[in-house]
Structure 1
Amino acid sequence: MNTLHLKLEQQLEFIYQDVDEVKDYRALASSLMAAMGLYEGPHGETGPHEPVAFQNHWSEQDVVLITYGDSLVQQRANQEEEIPPGECLLQQKPLITLKRFLDDYCQDVVNSVHILPFYPYSSDDGFAVINYSAVNESLGGWNDINAISEDYRVMADLVINHCSSRSVWFDNFIKGEGPGHDFFFTCDPSEDVSQVVRPRTSPLLRETQTADGIKHVWCTFSHDQVDFDFRNPKVLLEFVWIIRLYLDNGVKIFRMDAVAFLWKKVATSCLNLEETHEIVRLLRTLIEHAQPDAVIITETNIPNRENLAYFGNANEAHCVYNFSLPPLLVNTLITGSCKHLKQWMMSMPPAQQGTAYFNFIASHDGIGLRPAEGLLSEKELNVMISTMQSFGGRVSMRALDNGKNKPYEINIALVDALQGTTEGPDRWGIARFVCAHSIMFALEGIPGLYIHSLLGTHNDYEKLKHTNHNRSINRHRWDYQALQQQLAEETSDHHKVFNELKNLLAIRTKQAAFHPNATQFTLHLGDQLFGFWRQSIDRSQSIFCIYNISNEEQILNLSEVNLIDLDEWRDLITGDYLQNISGQLAMSPYQVLWISNK
């Protein structure tokens, strides 16, 4: 028996120890290995690869663009060209348009792309998956995913907690027979579910008429998103087959969506249970043996301490979303004080080798508020919420166990969120917006850049009105020709934002001190000047990243930065050398300095 098989058996025993129906861990481990394409060699080898522990699968050159498959829509230039079967007469397949945009506009600064759920779906803009094995025909096909993966690392969503109520699996659940008929978690409504933590306000249980009578199906998110029952090992095995399919089609990064809710136990919170953590570890074990450079990112929009637990001991997620960064950074820039951002930075443990933070400040969802719990006071959160509402944002709620609702996230385009301060809009919007990204680009971790931030896209009120879903406000769909015109027009805000962010990324990807695992220390320069120091892993390069996060000029005393006089120091952004490392610099509102000795 090889070591991988034994490890899988031990993991399975932990996961299913309280499930009486699952006891043959050896057979289940063999099935999982077969599904992943791993063999059991006679001398303990596991094939096709042996993973190396604590190995970084990223560098300072890694930047992930986050986008829907149809965030860009291109009309056909030649209406007489031959149309492939099943393709719209007037529209190019959006995945082809996306590849063209990446090649024409992002090739030098982006090497990875997170294509949000590109499968057939019924709701939630892709997160209610009907068929995990297919690409949505309106977007393209697996050949288009493969074409993108030839030049960029592709991140795909593993929507592992739930699927669509319109899937074949759920149809079979209703009929009581066929594949998937036993895949879903049900609960007697008399059971105590008062402790269950949820991000929504809809009823937890969905009453469903089936061939076996009325059943109450668990729905963490919506009644169109029915939760899987991982107590049934066939569900786990099915997802291993799905992972293998994605690997075979060029996917190298797996975003485990809503994974914190995976395992359910009545009379508990059903959040971050130990079985959930062990399933992530088991999937990590299988994936890294099949594809050593593949990466798992857990999407756990929860308080900071619980989020960090998904690193495990570098044996669980390779990366965790830095969910506290968006609300703290927005708070910093609208209040003109970095007090809370500094406190949080100093509390964050360095990611050990083989793990990294995934930094982002805007996404297809919104600015999560749960990750700010314990970091910002209720009063400060309320000020931020009211400011965002005054800038056109919306607020989504979640249900509490006392029957009341509480703000869960703010839905707003980031360029609109940073159009002003708590005092109202001002003329520093773009500078403030660029400053926010320059902070994110320089922090320890891998930057994830939402396409609508890169393009400076504003709130989409038309889409919000059409869908009546708050998150639609930041899910605009660009006509590609119109976008090209905006990017070419030098007076356009979209042109200004795109070029400033692209220039910053071009600098970032050349600095060893911006490696995701390079050393980071927080500087203490007062509340209006935010700063931190990065040092490359080989200690050859230091970069002092300093930001005026206020709307007034601030004086930087370079003597407080402690620059070593044996080195020559220059600002990477302007290229200017510092003439007096003990002198003073006047920093204009939202000015950025990346002071490097190389």
Structure 2
Amino acid sequence: LKTLNNVLLKYFSDIFEGGIHILPPFPSSGDRGFAPLTYLEIEPSFGTWEDIKAIGENFDILVDLMVNHISKKSKYFQDFIKKGRNSEYADLFITLDKIWEDGKPKQEDIEKMFLRRKLPYSTFTVEETGEEEKVWTTFGKTDPSEQIDLYIKSQKAKDLLKEFFMNFKKQNVKIVRLDAVGYVIKKLGTSCFFVEPEIYDFLDWIKELADSLEIELLPEVHSHYSIQYKLADHGFWIYDFILPYTILDTLINKSSEKLCEYLKVRPKKQFTMLDCHDGIPVKPDMDDLIDTKEARKLVDVCVERGSNLSLILSEEHKAEDGFDVHQIRCSYYSVLNCDDDAYLAARAIQFFTPGIPQVYYVGALAGENDTENVKKTGEGREINRHNFSIEEIEQSLKKDVVQRLLKLIKFRNEYDAFNGEFKVLDCAK
């Protein structure tokens, strides 16, 4: 974190005026920070809360809160594994009797769910009794999972989230991204994803808490675009997960028709992005906006250019013709064939689109696909998670494409017209 602050002050002090999104700096047992043990401490190998505060002196800070889950190695779950139902933290977690009365999972219910792993639960053995406990685990590549879902209906979970928010306030955090918030409600007979109206009860509760602490919220929901628009109608900032694919389609297929149509109707209160630590959203974000035959062709081009894919597991949530691409994982510079002009055109479209533009660190340095790290770790998302040395940062900053990008960012930050009215004119394809 000290190095990050030095790099920001030395090279980017007049670039990221809107703030810095620091991906999870908390102690974590997996998923590159997304299986946090706690939000009350910073991972010692990264630094301390004092380092975060130091960055906060010059930049507004955005951090993630995984509202859906916490690490298997957290003190809370470790106590549960030791004592089972006698643990003071037992009500933080979703034992299966909180879903099915007899505690026995039913396949017909599971088939309706939007699954992120083959089964939505993991089995653990309680140390003191030797009994098996099945608890809900939406995410996780291991079995049992590293990421244990929180029972957000319980007062215990609400008190814990409140404690985390109070600490964020104390540490001068300005924005909190609600990671995986779409999965917090578990209800039989549904997909267990963005379950209405219950999801709004939770969002209203957490918004009231955040408002009382003067913290902005940014819900992260990968879903059908209509759900994003409902969040916008409820007054939340949302992510524009449609723009990255639409810009990619525009530049690869050389037609602006879909882009212009989209820009005319999209909500304006959005964070825009092209790239991130996961991938370019496809399904379900682009459902009903793309033709799957055309999408397959676009995906094939991306794979030819070195991308790898995240796929949807549950049959029910694939397209009728079997199209199952969840995300295209790549560096945005690489997926545009490392073409400087195409990349800058993509960024220009992003910056001219109303909202708050975010630029991922790999994108800011026009980084390429890190295929070596994918091979080394076996994790497809590592393709766009390169660890830059100071020397690599300095080399990247000398590249013509990066210098042009920095000029474009300054223009977006400083030019008065961006506070004006946005209008899309009719134009040729």
Q: TM-score, normalised by structure 1?
A: 0.66
Deviation, structure 1 residue 215: 2.3
**Aligned twin of 1:298:** 219
* Aligned equivalent of 1:508, options 397, 409, 412: 412
Separation of aligned partners in 2, 1:479 and 1:180: 41
Evaluate the alpha carbon distance shift between residue 485 and residue 329 of structure 1 in structure 2; reply closer, same or farther with a 3 A threshold.
Answer: closer
Task: Quote the RMSD (CA, aligned, Å).
Answer: 1.7
Separation of aligned partners in 2, 1:260 and 1:402: 18
Corresponding letter in the other structure for 2:425: L
Evaluate the alpha carbon distance shift between residue 403 and residue 258 of structure 1 in structure 2; reply closer, same or farther with a 3 A threshold.
Answer: closer
Evaluate the alpha carbon distance shift between residue 503 and residue 179 of structure 1 in structure 2; reply closer, same or farther with a 3 A threshold.
Answer: farther
Separation of aligned partners in 2, 1:179 and 1:438: 53
Gaps of at least 5 residues in structure 2 are: 97-103
Q: Secondary structure at the match of 2:359?
A: strand
**Aligned twin of 1:196:** 113
Separation of aligned partners in 1, 2:117 and 2:66: 21
**Aligned twin of 1:498:** 402
Q: Deviations over 1:440-492 (max 9, x none)?
A: 1111100011011110111111211121111000000011123213424xxxx
**Aligned twin of 1:238:** 160
Q: Secondary structure at the match of 1:247?
A: helix
Considering fraction of residues, name the structure with more strand: 1
Deviation, structure 1 residue 179: 4.4
Corresponding letter in the other structure for 1:261: Y
Deviation, structure 1 residue 402: 4.6
**Aligned twin of 1:180:** 89
**Is residue 194–residue 267 contact of structure 1 (8 Å, CA) maintained in 2?**
no
Separation of aligned partners in 2, 1:202 and 1:128: 19
- Residue 292 of structure 2 corresponds to residue 374 of structure 1: no
- Residue 310 of structure 2 corresponds to residue 396 of structure 1: yes
* Aligned equivalent of 2:57, options 136, 150, 156: 150
**Aligned twin of 2:75:** 168
Gaps of at least 5 residues in structure 1 are: 1-94, 421-428, 489-494, 528-598
Separation of aligned partners in 2, 1:151 and 1:483: 20
Q: Which runs of 4+ in 1 moved over 3 A?
A: 401-405
Q: Secondary structure at the match of 2:45?
A: coil
**Aligned twin of 1:519:** 421
Separation of aligned partners in 2, 1:396 and 1:205: 21
Separation of aligned partners in 1, 2:88 and 2:21: 30
Evaluate the alpha carbon distance shift between residue 160 and residue 484 of structure 1 in structure 2; reply closer, same or farther with a 3 A threshold.
Answer: same
- Residue 21 of structure 2 corresponds to residue 114 of structure 1: yes
**Aligned twin of 2:44:** 137
* Aligned equivalent of 1:225, options 123, 127, 147: 147
Deviation, structure 1 residue 212: 7.1
Q: Secondary structure at the match of 1:477?
A: coil
Separation of aligned partners in 1, 2:21 and 2:88: 30
Separation of aligned partners in 1, 2:88 and 2:11: 44
- Residue 9 of structure 2 corresponds to residue 100 of structure 1: no
**Aligned twin of 2:247:** 329
**Is residue 173–residue 182 contact of structure 1 (8 Å, CA) maintained in 2?**
no
Considering fraction of residues, name the structure with more helix: 2
Evaluate the alpha carbon distance shift between residue 486 and residue 367 of structure 1 in structure 2; reply closer, same or farther with a 3 A threshold.
Answer: closer
**Aligned twin of 1:587:** none
Separation of aligned partners in 2, 1:302 and 1:443: 21
Evaluate the alpha carbon distance shift between residue 305 and residue 212 of structure 1 in structure 2; reply closer, same or farther with a 3 A threshold.
Answer: farther
**Is residue 122–residue 129 contact of structure 1 (8 Å, CA) maintained in 2?**
yes
Q: Secondary structure at the match of 1:321?
A: strand
**Is residue 130–residue 168 contact of structure 1 (8 Å, CA) maintained in 2?**
yes
Deviation, structure 1 residue 161: 0.4
- Larger deviation: 372-381 or 281-290? 281-290
Separation of aligned partners in 1, 2:293 and 2:315: 22
Separation of aligned partners in 1, 2:123 and 2:290: 38
After TM superposition, the structure 1 = structure 2 runs for residues 291-440 of structure 1, keeping only pairs within 5 Å, are 291=214, 294-314=215-235, 317=236, 319-349=237-267, 351=268, 356-370=269-283, 371-402=285-316, 406-419=324-337, 429-440=339-350
**Is residue 310–residue 327 contact of structure 2 (8 Å, CA) maintained in 1?**
yes
Separation of aligned partners in 1, 2:91 and 2:205: 22
Figure out how many residues of one structure are paired with residues of the other and give that number: 406
Separation of aligned partners in 2, 1:523 and 1:395: 35
**Is residue 395–residue 407 contact of structure 1 (8 Å, CA) maintained in 2?**
yes
Deviation, structure 1 residue 105: 1.2
